Structure 1
């Protein structure tokens, strides 16, 4: 099926990479549901982790001057630790219930900060730890946790360069860890390896286009865009969950 639809797969992966760059929290939140139309869920987890390694290296290269070292420690370390737990548990948990919880959280969290512009989350170490742990755990369990991390980082009201660079650096650690666990789980298949160089090229092109778009938007436009994407993802996640349940 995938070989017949490879051009569509590449186009959708490119769109996911552009949106992930502009949104600042990576392409997996778009790529995972898209790739699920072409591959089984375990293969999607495996290929997403490998794809994201090249994607985040590209983002680090483009935005490396904006990295926030404090968030790397307080948000990044728990993210890397909890992604290992989530990746291991992915063998045992039905993701449909988690997708419902994720959709509700994104909708409420993003909607709150869109409506209450002045009520920003306090940039405390506790909040950073909570965001890192939640995003890492869901990244390992469901293949995507960047929207959770994006929600917490957007609430910190970071500059767009800092937002993207720090998120990409943390994501790289997350993907490196879960790639190892997914490999041990048997999610990375030899017959899918031809996609890796294709997706590596997609990550470079998509990140470059996303960076050019970001150069043309203001800080406030960027923050609102991130929150709107988070709310939209919450709605789409809930809609897909309900559609899947009705089809069973």
Structure 2
């Protein structure tokens, strides 16, 4: 228990609960929050490990809702491009990556909150493109759930189908990038003390998120997800400014 930052663990739990409710995974919150406590590359390593447990939890809790067609069309290009993004992350300065992450989250969410009638056509081509960008962003910046969430929203999925399919794709992404991040040296021995805590948080946070999700109408689902993303994007930029 020595040298464990419990405030960080509480924030990780909140990120997991909100990520489950939003349907895009906890990394969109966990990565910028983790940057308050660790260097950017350590956060990438911890995120991959943390997500493995949280996505296994979601797959178990929402297992009846899996869309196998989307799993293939979005999942396969996601896995391919997360490896590309993970390799490139080692070649770029972490400060630039953090700035890009914050600007991307704010710009992405603000655009779709303002242009709330804008939709992506639900076809195979857009699913593959969305999966590719989602995987690349996950490997490079640590989070790609926002892009995947937008792509999947085009198919107007029921909440449990959305979350189960997204979690399964996310698990495939995390499993792949864990090896890349390990080769890059992002998984540090002194950070591994957090892994057991994050594993439990992944289970508990997913369970709490599922219970809360029952009370959220389908019509509010997309707007709520985008609002969460906008908030964390602003927090990321403020954090960089105050450094």
Please, what TM-score do these two structures have when normalized by structure 2?
A: 0.91
1:139 equivalent in alignment to 2:134 = no
Return closer, same or farther for 1:148/1:103 CA change in 2, 3 Å cut-off. Answer: farther
1-side partners of 2:96 and 2:207: how far apart?
35
After superposing the two structures, state which structure 1 stretch, 54-63 or 231-240, moved more.
231-240
Contact 1:25 1:147 in 2 (8 A): yes
CA RMSD across the alignment: 2.0
CA offset at residue 156 of structure 1? Answer: 3.5
Instruction: Give SS of 1:194's match.
Output: helix
Map of 1:157 onto structure 2: 156
1:191–1:235: structure 2 CA closer, same or farther, 3 Å change rule? closer
Question: How many corresponding residue pairs?
Answer: 243
Q: Relative to structure 1, is the Cα distance of residues 153 and 13 closer, same or farther in structure 2, using a 3 angstrom cutoff?
A: same
Q: CA offset at residue 28 of structure 1?
A: 1.0
Cα pair distance change 1:156/1:110, threshold 3 Å: farther
**What residue ranges of structure 2 are gaps of 5+ in the alignment?**
none
1:84-95 pair list within 5 angstroms: 84-95=83-94
Displacement of 1:109? 3.8
Secondary structure of the structure 1 residue equivalent to 2:187: coil
Match in the other structure for 1:75: 74
Distance in 1 separating the partners of 2:199 and 2:62: 18
| Map of 2:46 onto structure 1 | 47
Shift of 1:72: 0.9
Matches within 5 A, 1:60-139: 60-139=59-138
Deviation at 1:108, TM superposition (A): 4.1
Report the Cα distance in structure 2 between the residues aligned to 1:3 and 1:127, rounded to whole angstroms.
Answer: 48
CA distance in 2, matches of 1:65, 1:116: 32
Cα contact 1:48–1:143 (8 A) shared by 2: yes
For residue 77 of structure 1, report the CA deviation from its aligned partner.
0.7
Q: How does 1:236-247 map to 2 (within 5 A)?
A: 236-241=235-240, 243=241, 247=243
* Equivalent residues of 2:41, 2:94 under 8 A apart: no
| Contact 1:80/1:136 (8 A) holds in 2 | yes
What's the CA shift for 1:130? 1.6
How far off its partner does 1:78 sit?
Answer: 0.7
Q: Structure 1: give runs of 5+ residues left out of the alignment.
A: none
| Aligned CA distance change for structure 1 residues 49 and 100 (closer, same or farther; 3 Å) | same
Separation of aligned partners in 2, 1:34 and 1:109: 19
C-alpha displacement at 1:101, in angstroms?
4.1
Deviates more, 1:176-185 or 1:188-197: 188-197
